Chains A and B, each alone.
Chain A
Amino acid sequence: MMRFVAPLIGFLVLVALLYVGLGLNPREVPSPLVGRPAPAFVLPALEAGASAVSERDLTGAPVTVFNIWASWCAACIEEHPVLSAWVKRRDLPLVGLNYKDDPDAARAWLARFGNPYHKIAVDREGRVGIDWGVYGVPETFLVDRAGIIRYKHIGPLTPQVVAERLDPLIDRMRAEAQR
């Protein structure tokens, strides 16, 4: 009896491991920044004449969305309508980090697709991006009232990500801020 059961159990364990392991996304590297304070930065704003943008622009509200994007990033175009509709629906302050981009191209991109951002910092060299552990644009962070990073999403936002991961967390963060 054991002769058949032992290999069968081994096989089922292997199937379970492979099922979970192959279902994981290797691009989703857990960020060590979640649960830590937002890294400090001071960068010029994309809009001419606007004051500099810093990490302090990410604190104060129960939830602030920090979105890393670039005009050269195809997935950003895909994400743009989802992001715009979401921040409008949930009335969220949205700060952008224009990552390793030509400011003129970035402004033209916003003129073409629309500008959902309240403030945009220009990170031409990608230095602030490194401090934030950015490696695949677009990326989206949620920062709480105290300036702690609560969530990081790598890759374009989709309605599914918004509904399943972001919206429930936002409800929780807003409830916390009321206490």
Chain B
Amino acid sequence: MKQTVRAVVMIVLAVVGGPAMAVTPQHFEDPAQQRQYEQLLPELRCLVCQNETLAESEAPLADDLRREVAELVRRGESDAEIRAFLVARYGDFVLYRPPVKTVTYALWFGPFALLLVGVGVWFTVARRQRRMGAAAPVLSADERRRVRALLERDEDKAP
């Protein structure tokens, strides 16, 4: 019991404590700015470790970018202005939610197009099978008799 509790505590500490230690905290006088900062970071990509957000990355560049974002927040810039600042330097790639424009149409609408294709294929296959099923009788009377005979023979052999 005691061991279980200890294990649980250690797992919780490992999960909660890991990211907390990695990131230099930024402090804000205004709680609204603190909120803005915390909401903005998970939407931004760390360029060095590309599958991490700025909120969680330990890379030195991520820390620099957090410092930059924090300063813009303190200066009272809006979310859109801060995003524009980063996009001007690193491109749309820094945004985890890329803007909808011509080059990102495939990204935004591709999955739905594929889904439509899938539904189309499913319908055609289903309809074809239904048509073929209706055309041919499943078993003729003669075949039915043979099946019954085989099944009965098996039942006789059963222990």
A residues contacting B by CB (< 8 A) are: 26-27, 29-33, 100, 125-127, 129-133, 135-136
Contacts and interface: CB of A to CB of B under 8 A. Distances in A.
B61 A133 contact: no
Given A130-B68, A135-B47, A136-B48, A29 B91 contact: yes
A131 B60 contact: no
Given A29-B90, A29-B91, 14 more contacts: A26-B50, A30-B91, A30-B93, A31-B91, A32-B88, A32-B89, A100-B60, A126-B60, A126-B61, A130-B64, A130-B89, A132-B89, A133-B89, A135-B47
B71 to A, nearest CB: 10
B90 A135 contact: yes
A32 B86 CA distance: 10
B82 interface: no
A29 B93 contact: yes
B87 interface: yes
A129 B87 CA distance: 14
A129 B48 CA distance: 14
Interface string B60-85: 11001100100000000000000000
Given A26-B50, A29-B47, A133 B90 contact: yes
A125 B61 CA distance: 10
Interface of B: 47-48, 50, 60-61, 64-65, 68, 87-91, 93
A126 B63 CA distance: 11
24 contacts: A29-B47, A29-B91, A29-B93, A30-B93, A31-B90, A31-B91, A32-B87, A33-B89, A100-B60, A125-B64, A126-B60, A126-B61, A126-B64, A127-B64, A129-B64, A130-B64, A130-B89, A131-B89, A132-B89, A133-B90, A133-B91, A135-B48, A135-B90, A136-B48
B91 A32 contact: yes
Contact of B90 (A32, A100, A126, A127): A32
Contacts of B87: 32
Contacts of A31: 90-91
Contacts of A133: 89-91
Nearest to B46: A135
A129 B60 CA distance: 12
Q: Which 4 A-B pairs have the closest CB atoms?
A: A135-B47, A133-B89, A32-B91, A29-B93
